[in-house]
Amino acid sequence: MSSPDFSLERTAFSKGATLVAGVDEVGRGPLAGPVTAAAVILNPQNIPAGLNDSKKLSAKKRTEMATEIRSVAQVSVAHASVAEIDEHNILRASHIAMERAVAALDPAPDYLLIDGNLIPKGLTITSEAVVKGDARSVSISAASIVAKTVRDEIMMDLAQQFPGYGWETNAGYPSKSHKEALRNLGVTPHHRRSFKPVHNILYQE
């Protein structure tokens, strides 16, 4: 598949938009840690080269790109906590994180390109859901890179406080070693109790 480009943003400008933000989240699948969203308004005259879906970039490249994105774009990052994930559900929590990231952008965008097939219900700005958006829109791919680097840093910090779960390498995702550690070491305050592998350990017969 070809790399993301600026065509969706240009289409938004042709409809009268002046500031277009790409929005993406990371961390829906992990058993532990927050869900993190980023919103990014790129400068059409200064788009970093090499933007792509964060999953297609090495950790080193993501970190370099995130620094570059922050230096040339408007960037906002927000989270929904483990408690919010357990209270609502992971989809709603990821949308809450997106809504917070958009709300913190200054200046505020007037058009949003949102990764996925749903538009968070709390958004009042004109929005377009873009399936596989991080592979199609440079604004969304920039948001995915920023969100991923921030969340990975959070999980590395938590790994220092709660060693043994491998969060510094699995970022809280349900790897074999992480699930094994859950069984052997138990559930931490940072585990999502509403997620089945965690729930089953807490409430096993």
Q: Which residues are annotated as a binding site?
A: 24-25, 115
DSSP designation for 175: -
Packing angle between helix 138-161 and helix 7-14, nearest 10 degrees?
120
Burial class (CB in 10 A: 0-12, 13-18, 19+), 54: buried
Q: Which residues are annotated as a binding site for a divalent metal cation?
A: 24-25, 115
CA of residue 169 relative to chain centroid, distance = 17
Map tokens 């809504």 to a residue: 99
Q: Give residues with Cβ within 8 angstroms of 76, minimum separation 6.
A: 38, 39, 40, 101, 102, 104, 105
